[in-house]
Every structure is written in C-alpha cells, then in structure tokens.
C-alpha cells in the first residue's frame, strides 16, 4: 500500500480506538494539516501543468494559519485516502478510499484537528506497524480535498 506524505498525522493528544461492531479505527484529534510549508510533487499541485511545474520535482507550498482557519469547514466529511489526489463528484477516486474525516474540525495552535475513521484492515495494520517503528508502517495519509 502506498501512502502520501501529506499532513494527516496523529497529534500527541490523539486518541485511538477500534469499534467492536465493525472493526473500524477511530482517531480523535488527528492532525489534518498544519500552518507550515509542505512539500509536494509538481503533479500533486492543482494546475501544475498550467503553472509550468515539473511533475516529478518537489515544491514547497505555504499553508498560513489564517487560510487554514478560513477553510476549516471544507475539511469536514472528506474522504481519507492512501494517495494525495483531489476528490470530486465527477472523479470520486473511490478505489483509494481508506475511510473518512469527521465533522469536528477545529484549530489547536497551528494544527487543524479532526476525527478520522479508517475502514480498511490493510490501512489499520499499516498504522499499527508504524506505531511499533516498523519500516513498512504508515502514519501519513491524505484527505481528498481540492
């Protein structure tokens, strides 16, 4: 499974539990993004071709806190993905879905926190491997926003 290096990560105060009814992993206070400069491949940046970016070159993208605060409602109810790609109604990208982001998005310092729910056992296993320091484990996922 290949995961993005975008900013869905577990905060120090995150709380995880497995739902006994369906086996889904619930993570509260998960960091969806932070005020920072994030690296993206050119092809991951919306409009990269029109901007004349190199598809395989890495670019720093500034995320100011003020802009994250303006967009906080757009981080609610998003798809949780194993690849950093935009999700739209025309292109739902459902083959990459791992779960969903909740509707309780909020700022905590420079971090935007939300609950996530991971539906797929393969992804839950990769997250648990990362917790144990396994090199095949994954902590970074993506929410499908445009």
Read off the pLDDT of residues 131-145 as tens digits, 9 standing for 90 and up: 888 888 887 788 876
What does the alpha-carbon distance between residue 54 and residue 122 come to, in Å, rounded to a whole number? 32
Q: Band of the pLDDT at 10, cuts 50, 70, 90?
A: low
CA-based nearest residue to 38, from 72, 1, 4, 79: 4
For 49-65, b/e burial (b = at least 16 CB within 10 A) is eeeebeeeeebeeebee
Residue 31, judged by CB atoms within 10 A of its CB (0-12, 13-18, 19+), counts as: buried
Banded model confidence at residue 6, pLDDT cuts 50, 70, 90: very low
Could you tell me the pLDDT band of residue 49, with boundaries at 50, 70 and 90?
Answer: very high
Q: What is the pLDDT of residues 88-119, one digit of tens each?
A: 899 999 999 999 999 999 999 999 999 999 99
pLDDT at 35: 95
Q: pTM here?
A: 0.78
**Structure tokens given for 55:** 């598809």
């Amino acid at each position: 499974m290949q995961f993005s290096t975008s900013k869905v990560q577990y905060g120090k105060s995150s709380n995880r539990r497995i739902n006994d009814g369906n086996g889904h992993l619930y993570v509260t206070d998960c960091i969806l993004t932070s005020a920072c400069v994030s690296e993206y491949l050119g092809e991951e940046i919306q409009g990269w071709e029109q901007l004349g970016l190199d598809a395989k070159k890495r670019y720093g993208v500034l995320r100011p806190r003020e802009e994250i605060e303006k967009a906080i409602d757009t981080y609610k109810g998003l798809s949780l993905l194993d690849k950093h790609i935009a999700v739209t109604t025309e292109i739902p990208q459902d083959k990459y879905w791992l779960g969903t982001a909740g509707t309780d998005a909020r700022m905590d310092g420079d971090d935007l926190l939300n609950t996530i729910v991971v539906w797929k056992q393969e992804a839950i296993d990769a997250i648990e491997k990362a917790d144990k320091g396994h090199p095949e484990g994954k902590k970074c996922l993506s929410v499908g926003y445009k």
